[in-house]
Amino acid sequence: MSTPPPHLTASELRLWEAYRRGERLDLGAGVAADDDPRNGAVWGGDRVIRASVLARLLLQPPEPEPGHTTALRITGALVTGRLELGGGRLDAYISWTRCRFEKPITLNVASTVTILAHECVIPALYGRNLRVDGDLSLTCCVVPSGIRILDARIDNDLRIDDCVVGPGEYDRAVFGNGLQVGADASFNRSVLTGQVSLHGARFGGPLLFPGARIERPGALALDLGRISVEHSLFITAGFSVVGSIRLNDARTGGAIVLSGGVACANPDEELTLWRAVANGFHLALSAPALGRIVLNGASVGILTDTPHTWPPRGNLEIAELTYTTRRAASPATVSDRIDWVERGTADYAPQPYDQLAGVYRAAGEDEDARSVLLAKQRRRRDTLGVPGRLWGHVQDVAIGYGYRPARALGWLIALVAVGTAVFAADRPAPLKADEAPHWNPFWYTLDLLLPVVTLGQDSAWKPTGPTQWLAYTLILLGWVLAGAAAAGATRVLNRA
């Protein structure tokens, strides 16, 4: 069928013929300010295209002119009435540029090739269970009442770039739960007022939010729970999220990157990655987080951060978080990392310390690994009873719980020096004058300090007065050092 239906206006008749040739119909006035539908300029009747005519072209299309393929390409149209395409098969390429739609577009359960909208005003877009063989692209558009594309399937790219999208039903700006995108999905530089919900969505390429602004104060703003992304998730380049971000049970083949923007900036906001799995997690916000960040049970491969990004103690949770490599986007010391662990564990738990120490050890940074394990023992000490805490302090002072072995040698040298000096000045009398070995204050002091090995000195001499008390003190300290060293060695060997 190639004959146009009766009662078409002149503009609609031109569109009918342009459709058959696959050509673009431009109804604009040629003045940029007047042709931008977002400026609210009053458009004349020559721009009007009835939605029913568009539906007729797409659902009951005329035959193409010989040598042409059909396509709906239109610029500068004012579309009146509601465009209802639900359940239809739309075989033509669709491109709307600088068009203004008076009412929402309905594409529920429809199937089409490609839909492109550029610099359009669309009150709302409904596309539940929509099937698109190519791209669904909205660029520089205004959509005041939201985009609903839950359970839609887009075989190539989804683009919602440089758009202004307002809240629709249930305060959602974009409702895309269960969405499937074969390639890239992007929300570059869009302003999205209301929740962006992509729960359970699947993406064959990267998921991109560079420069996006998502605003839903005091509530969940970005729901990416249970998403599957074959490549990486990028929330970067001056982005801003006012409200909470949820990435629970998310899976990405690449990294999850939140960098160069603002998120979790208010105490009532959250960033949660419960059980998320990614090859990397990069967190480098432009301002410190004040809300809660929850990484419990996540596995993130390479963990990259800036130390100032993390929230204060009580607002960070890292229980059972695992990673293979730790990198810093800005300088970070082992003290910064230990502080991070302590901020992320309200109560003592060994796993975060062991995880961090293991990463340091794998990188060949054994000294830093020992510092982490020493901090772990000090934190554990606070959970013990009084005897355990006292013994812990002794081990800490003596040998750093086995992670500072040079400390024991230092104590030994100091005690030997003191004993040698005192006993050289105040030589004890021999127990048996005819059997006493040659007097040597150094070996005598060392014999007192060694609790098991005997050098034959301590039993041959009899100190009295103050030197007797010094001898007893050296014997006691020798046993304390030996016990602390044994406990520390056992701990270190067990770790090894």
- Does 298 score more than 80 pLDDT? yes
Give the confidence band of 199 by pLDDT, cuts at 50, 70, 90: very high
Both tokens assigned to 228: 């599957």
The pLDDT of residue 434 is 63
Q: In the 8-state DSSP scheme, what is residue 65?
A: P
The pLDDT of residue 492 is 56
- Counting other chains too, the contacts that 90-93 makes at CB distance below 8 Å and 24 or more residues apart are 90/58, 90/59, 91/61, 92/19, 92/57, 92/58, 92/61, 93/22, 93/69
- Does 281 score more than 80 pLDDT? yes
Q: Which of 185-189, 401-405, 453-457 has the lowest mean pLDDT?
A: 453-457
- Does 330 score more than 90 pLDDT? no
Q: What is the mean pLDDT of residues 141-151?
A: 98
More confidently predicted of 429 and 393: 393
Q: Over the chain, what is the mean pLDDT? A: 90
- Does 462 score more than 90 pLDDT? no
The pLDDT of residue 396 is 80
Q: What's the pTM? A: 0.86
The pLDDT of residue 484 is 60
pLDDT digits (tens, 9 = 90+) for 371-407: 999 999 999 999 999 988 887 887 787 777 778 777 7
Cα–chain center distance at 322: 13
Q: Spell out the residues 6+ positions from residue 240 whose beta carbon is closer than 8 angstroms to its own.
A: 212, 213, 214, 215, 261, 262, 263
Both tokens assigned to 67: 């040598």
Give the confidence band of 493 by pLDDT, cuts at 50, 70, 90: low
pLDDT digits (tens, 9 = 90+) for 21-44: 999 999 998 888 888 898 777 887
- Does 450 score more than 80 pLDDT? no
Q: What is the mean pLDDT of residues 272-282?
A: 98
Give the confidence band of 219 by pLDDT, cuts at 50, 70, 90: very high
Judge whether 151 and 178 are in contact, CB under 8 Å: yes
- Counting other chains too, the contacts that 147-150 makes at CB distance below 8 Å and 24 or more residues apart are 147/173, 147/174, 147/175, 147/176, 148/124, 148/172, 148/175, 149/125, 149/174, 149/175, 149/176, 149/179, 150/175, 150/176, 150/177, 150/178, 150/179
Residue type at 44 in one-letter notation: G
Which range, 134-148, 321-335, 420-434, 452-466, is most confident? 134-148
pLDDT digits (tens, 9 = 90+) for 342-369: 999 999 999 999 999 999 999 999 999 9
Helix axes 441-449, 466-495, angle to 10 degrees: 50
Q: Spell out the residues 6+ positions from residue 100 whose beta carbon is closer than 8 angstroms to its own.
A: 37, 43, 77, 78, 79, 120, 121
Q: Given the DSSP bridges, would you call strands 280-284 and 255-259 parallel, antiparallel or unpaired? A: parallel
What is the length of the chain? 496
Judge whether 377 and 402 are in contact, CB under 8 Å: no
- Does 240 score more than 90 pLDDT? yes
Question: d(Cα 294, Cα 430) in Å, to the nearest integer?
Answer: 70
Residue type at 111 in one-letter notation: S
Give the whole-number percent of the chain exceeding pLDDT 90.
71
Both tokens assigned to 417: 């020096």
The pLDDT of residue 427 is 73
More confidently predicted of 466 and 452: 466
Nearest in space to 339 (alpha carbons), one of 364, 308, 385: 308
CB atoms within 10 A of CB 436: 16
Q: What is the mean pLDDT of residues 213-220?
A: 98
Phi, psi for 298 (deg, rounded to 5): -80, 155
Distances (CA, A) of 490 to 383, 404, 483, 486, 493: 21, 14, 11, 6, 5
- Does 148 score more than 60 pLDDT? yes
Give the whole-number percent of the chain exceeding pLDDT 70.
90
